[in-house]
Amino acid sequence: MKVAMYYSNSDIRIEEKPVPKIGPGELLIRVEASGICGSDVMEWYRADKVPLVLGHEIGGVVTEVGQGVKKYKVGDRVSASHHVPCNECHYCLGGHPTVCETLRRTFFDPGGFCEYLRLPKINAEKGVYLLPDEVSFEEATFIEPVACVLRGQRLSNMKEGKSVLVVGSGIAGLLHIQMAKINKAGLVVATDINDYRLKVAKKVGADNVINGMNEDVSARFKELNKGRLADLVILCTGAPQAIEQALNSVDRGGTVLFFAPTNQGITVPISVNKIFWRTEITLTSSYAGSPEDHLDALELIRRRKINIKDMITHRLKLSQIQVGFKLAVEAKDSLKVIIEPQK
């Protein structure tokens, strides 16, 4: 089978590998669609792990079922989690399954950017989601990112009526805008430095947008919010300037959700008095989504609560994946790039 072997963002090679052999309890999936995630282009994060096959946002078809598997059959249309928790450890029992050690060790074999992948037994047991007929394979690639957004807003104590500032309008930001609306937020404002992305942010539901390069974000948000800063700031970019804008834009009693990673080595000084003393501001973070979050995400997609159509900008063959990574890295007039390995 063909795989896209990642060596760096500018060096992705189409190579041949044997179709994985499955064992008892495992599944073989024919990958029909696989989305390029922002984490896929974090070159520094995997520099010591290359070469490898990336891709974790998938939709596909079960083509082989291992001995003992009862829940799934050949021909089932599915999505799957590449990381799954044990549901038994200190972290899982404490409500933090996405920082479970088992979750960190589970994986696709070899990855989503290939023609076929093997789901290990634990993934097949805990992280496979049957696709309803009305959910397409490309829509299925959004289950994982929507699950991450669901979890992030739950952890940030999102409530009806809250004012929300989404800093960064890439795919994560656009999904957070829509999730805030689903959660019945009050005012939802989005920022970016790219006018194309700001236009899409308005299209998917932002009440207002702010160009973070040209405007004073906190001052403009106060104008839009009757003199108050944001109850919830969702940071969907790791740019230091954006982090500073986020910290300056949260109201007393509010929350800043650190949703996106930064480049390696980035640190940001925080004035303890300004942020914490007499403010009751909460800084929090989230990582990934649990299997339950994935099921909730699938239902939102099935019910057409999430506008996926306007976020998919490119559909490419596996042989064109280098073009896809270039689009994702440059982040100009592209949003979600979908790779279709069977074409």
- How does pLDDT run across 188-228, given as a tens digit for each residue? 999 999 999 999 999 999 999 999 999 999 999 999 999 99
Other beta carbons within 10 angstroms of residue 56's beta carbon come to 22
- Count of H helices and E strands in the chain? 12, 16
Say how many residues make up the chain.
Answer: 343
Query: What mean pLDDT, rounded, does the chain reach?
Result: 97
Q: What does the alpha-carbon distance between residue 34 and residue 337 come to, in Å, rounded to a whole number? A: 9
Band (pLDDT 50/70/90 cuts) for residue 308 is very high
Q: What is the per-residue pLDDT for 335?
A: 96
Indicate the pLDDT class of residue 19, thresholds 50, 70 and 90.
very high
Average pLDDT over residues 271-300: 95
pLDDT digits (tens, 9 = 90+) for 145-187: 999 999 999 999 999 999 999 999 999 999 999 999 999 999 9
**What pLDDT was estimated at residue 268?**
85
As assigned by CATH, the class of the 2-147+288-340 domain is alpha beta
State the pLDDT confidence band at 318, using cuts at 50, 70 and 90.
very high
Q: Say how far apart CA 325 and CA 323 lie, in whole Å.
A: 6
To which residue do tokens 């896809």 refer? 324
Residue pLDDT, tens place only, 31-69: 999 999 999 999 999 889 999 999 999 999 999 999 999
Positions of E strands within the chain:
2-8, 11-16, 27-35, 52-53, 57-65, 77-80, 116-119, 128-130, 164-167, 188-192, 208-211, 230-235, 250-258, 282-285, 312-317, 336-340
pLDDT tier at 275 (50, 70, 90 boundaries)?
A: confident
Query: 120: cis peptide before it, omega within 30°?
Result: no
Sketch the domain layout of the chain as residue ranges. Answer: 2-147+288-340, 157-285
Read off the pLDDT band of 99 (50, 70, 90).
very high
Considering only CA atoms, which of 211, 218, 207, 280 is closest in space to residue 247?
A: 218
Q: What is the CATH number of domain 157-285?
A: 3.40.50.720
Residue 113 scores a pLDDT above 90: yes
This prediction has a pTM of 0.97
pLDDT for residue 130 is more than 90:
yes
Q: Closest by alpha carbon to 85, among 105, 67, 71?
A: 105
